[in-house]
């Protein structure tokens, strides 16, 4: 790869890569060859030099992303960029392919995944002392894309048919809900078809980290399903080891790290001044090193204390961040004017990046202002947004969208979606597991997350919230697979939720 050692090399790479990117109308961006692709059209990316680093920024449906590029190389029509996140927390090799070449690129990925599927099928059949009946890939996310999961049917001694599934790409704990959701739906379809009526168990085959996370999710399923599922850990040497899922008591009694004690937080002078410019739209999140200001959920400024003084940086990821001072003040006011013009329910241009970015955060911002629009029984405050429950067991550490308290003392886990997600029910159940573990250990009360309010000695509720037409078609099927101890409710919102949250329907999931 061509390494970038100083600002001169970074500027040369910027000019070359910008010309190369602009020469094509659209590109497909992947983090590694086997990752899920994001289509980028002209005007949805930017290359710039910041200090001695080359920074690639791009917009997608979920908002802005930015990477520091340390090296690059061209290989045929594809570009490979060695990159890290702006904070340096994660590293990746970005793969950029011209949109016109995507069909051939997909074939390369499909061939690699089919080969991995065949290897896994042979391994599973050897471990089960069984005869292979069929091995194929799952359906891709889009037409023509190769699937991410191996689908294996084998027949054991005595004629019993068993289904097995495994990832055909490098998958970690973050894929646990997607993997299990896809496996359960596939197994259900097999049982519903005439040819698959006799399919018995379901093998979940996964590498160590993913297997650990899957074990915890399997515990959250109904007893009839748990009896059919067996988990097998795939070692680096290519062996399979049977693995047991914990009981619910074991799961909820697991050791949970203590929560930081909630303390009243007074906004900094800078954050207060910015929030006062648009108090109905701007909210503030307290983060470890300062405050982040969001305009209807979209982060646009941050306040940090450096050398004993408060400083304000502003800008969304696409444009980078600029230190606020007398010279940059007009740019800051221009950014606010653009947010006001484009990030609103009646925006004239709905394809504008500010309108499309971070839609779930937009919905969250509306509910933070008045969560009783969702349920009048909820307390207005305290309300914890993007609540990071301590990591328990092998699961991931994604934040809970909203953690609230009802007036009757029940904790409520609120998960928000604005687009279809088949894993919604399982994701809500896993958040329930994490909050329940902290609640059972007494950490939520000890941390005084809800002040002096009484917290009932009952398991939390789960509210799954999405626009009415954005619940996945398989939601009811999957929700009924969750064990009944997890009390879940479905909230259907009006499709014009940006203009105001209105609950059109509320149902208990049973």
Residue 71 DSSP SS3: strand
Choose among 148, 147, 182: nearest CA to 163: 182
Q: Is residue 352 part of a domain?
A: no
Q: Which helix (H) or strand (E) holds 412?
A: strand 411-416
Other C-beta atoms closer than 10 Å to the C-beta of 274 total 24
Q: pLDDT digit string (tens) for 108-136?
A: 778 889 999 999 999 999 999 999 999 99
Q: How confident is the model at residue 211, as a pLDDT? A: 95
Percentage of the residues of the chain whose pLDDT score is greater than 90: 58
Residues 480 and 368 in one domain: yes
Q: Which tokens go with 55?
A: 């920074």
Q: Which segment of 108-117, 159-168, 311-320, 390-399 scores lowest on mean pLDDT?
A: 390-399
Residues 363 and 504 in one domain: yes
In a domain, 262, yes or no: no
Residue 228 placed within a domain: yes
Please give the average per-residue pLDDT across 241-260, as a whole number.
87
What's the pLDDT at 308?
A: 82
User: Which carries the bigger pLDDT value, residue 208 or residue 86?
Assistant: 208
Q: Which two tokens stand for residue 309?
A: 């003084």
Instruction: Supply the pLDDT for residue 196.
Output: 45
In a domain, 70, yes or no: yes
pLDDT surpasses 80 at 142: no
Instruction: Indicate whether this model's pTM tops 0.85.
Output: no
Per-residue pLDDT of 308-363, as tens digits, reads 889 999 988 644 678 999 999 999 999 999 999 999 999 988 888 899 999 999 99
Q: Are residues 93 and 120 in the same domain?
A: no
- Tell whether 264 is covered by a domain: no
Same domain, 127 and 229: yes
Q: Which of 310, 344, 378 is the last residue of a domain?
A: 344
* R_g (Cα) of the chain, nearest Å: 25
101, 121, 153 — which closes off a domain? 101
Q: What is the pLDDT of residues 221-239, one digit of tens each?
A: 999 999 999 999 998 887 8
Categorize the per-residue pLDDT at 209 as very low, low, confident or very high, splitting at 50, 70 and 90. Answer: very high
The total of other beta-carbon atoms located within 10 Å of residue 353's CB is: 19
Q: What is the average pLDDT value for the chain, to the nearest integer?
A: 88
477 and 403 co-located in one domain: yes
- On whether residue 278 sits in a domain, the answer given is yes
Asked if 467 and 201 touch (Cβ cutoff 8 Å), the reply is no
Domain boundary residue, one of 218, 252, 286? 252
**Cα distance between residue 323 and residue 314, in whole Å:** 7
Band of pLDDT at residue 421, cut at 50, 70 and 90: very high
* Domain CATH number, residue 487: 3.40.1350.10
132 and 207 belong to one structural domain = yes
pLDDT tops 70 at residue 32: no
Structure confidence by residue, pLDDT tens digits, 469-509: 999 999 999 999 999 999 999 999 999 999 999 999 999 99
Domain that holds residue 222: 105-252
Same structural domain, 428 and 465: yes
In terms of DSSP bridges, do strands 411-416 and 461-467 run parallel, antiparallel, or are they unpaired? parallel
| pLDDT beyond 70 at 105 | no
pLDDT for 61-103, tens place per residue?
556 778 889 899 888 778 889 888 655 556 778 888 887 655 5
Query: 257 lies in a domain?
Result: no
pLDDT at 262: 63
Whether the per-residue pLDDT at 385 is higher than 70: the answer is yes
> What is the spatial distance between Cα 34 and Cα 261, in angstroms, rounded to a whole number?
42
**In this structure, are 441 and 311 located in the same domain?**
no
The answer to whether residue 350 is domain-embedded is no
d(CA 404, CA 385): 9
Residue 199 shares a structural domain with residue 320: no
Task: Read off the DSSP letter of residue 471.
Answer: S
Q: How many domains does one find in the chain?
A: 4
User: What phi, psi does 50 have (nearest 5°)?
Assistant: -120, 110
Same domain, 240 and 205: yes
Task: Answer yes or no: do 278 and 378 share one domain.
Answer: no
Q: Are residues 284 and 216 in the same domain?
A: no
Contact 303, 293 (CB under 8 A): yes
Within 363-460, strands assigned E span 384-387, 400-405, 411-416
């Amino acid at each position: 790869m061509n390494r970038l050692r100083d600002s001169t090399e970074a500027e040369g790479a910027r000019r070359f890569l910008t010309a190369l990117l602009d020469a094509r109308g659209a590109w497909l961006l992947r983090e590694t060859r086997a990752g899920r692709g994001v289509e980028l059209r002209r005007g949805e990316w930017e290359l710039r030099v910041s200090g001695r680093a080359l920074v690639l920024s791009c917009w997608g449906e979920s908002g802005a992303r930015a990477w520091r590029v340390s090296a690059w190389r061209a290989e045929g029509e594809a570009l490979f960029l060695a990159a890290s996140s702006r904070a340096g927390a994660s590293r990746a090799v970005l793969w950029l392919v011209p949109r016109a070449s995507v069909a051939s690129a997909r074939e390369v990925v499909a061939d690699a995944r089919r080969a991995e599927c065949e290897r896994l099928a042979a391994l599973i059949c050897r471990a089960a002392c069984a005869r292979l009946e069929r091995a194929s890939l799952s359906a891709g996310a889009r037409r023509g894309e190769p699937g991410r999961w191996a689908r294996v049917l084998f027949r054991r001694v005595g004629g019993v048919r068993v289904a097995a599934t495994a990832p055909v790409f490098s998958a970690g704990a973050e894929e646990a809900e997607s993997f299990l959701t896809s496996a359960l739906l596939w197994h259900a379809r097999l049982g519903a078809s005439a040819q698959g009526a006799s399919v018995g168990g379901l093998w979940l085959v996964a590498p160590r980290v993913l297997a650990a996370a899957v074990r915890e999710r399997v515990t959250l399923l109904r007893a009839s399903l748990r009896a059919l599922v067996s988990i097998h850990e795939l070692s680096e040497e290519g062996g399979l080891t049977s693995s047991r899922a914990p009981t619910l008591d074991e799961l909820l009694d697991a050791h949970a790290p203590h929560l930081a004690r909630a303390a009243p937080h007074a906004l900094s002078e800078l954050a207060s001044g910015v929030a006062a410019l648009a108090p109905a739209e701007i909210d503030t999140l307290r983060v470890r090193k300062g405050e982040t200001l969001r305009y209807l959920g979209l982060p646009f400024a941050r306040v940090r204390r450096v050398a004993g003084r408060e400083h304000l940086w502003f800008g969304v990821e696409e444009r980078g961040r600029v230190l606020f001072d007398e010279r940059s003040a007009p740019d800051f006011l221009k950014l606010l004017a653009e947010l006001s013009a484009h990030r609103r329910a009646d925006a004239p241009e709905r394809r504008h990046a500010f309108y499309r970015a971070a839609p779930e955060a937009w919905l969250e911002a509306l509910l933070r202002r008045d969560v009783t629009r969702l349920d009048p029984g909820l307390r207005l405050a305290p309300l914890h947004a993007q609540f990071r429950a301590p990591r328990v067991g092998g699961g991931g550490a994604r934040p809970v969208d909203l953690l609230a308290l009802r007036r009757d003392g029940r904790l409520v886990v609120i998960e928000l979606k604005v687009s279809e997600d088949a894993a919604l029910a399982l994701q809500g159940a896993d958040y329930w597991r994490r909050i329940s573990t902290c609640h059972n250990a007494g950490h939520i009360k000890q941390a005084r997350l809800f002040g002096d309010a009484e917290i009932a000695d009952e398991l939390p509720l789960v509210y799954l919230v999405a626009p009415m037409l954005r619940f996945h078609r398989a939601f009811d099927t999957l929700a009924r697979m969750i064990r009944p101890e997890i009390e879940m409710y479905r909230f259907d919102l009006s499709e014009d939720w940006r203009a105001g949250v209105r609950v059109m329907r509320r149902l208990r999931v049973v």
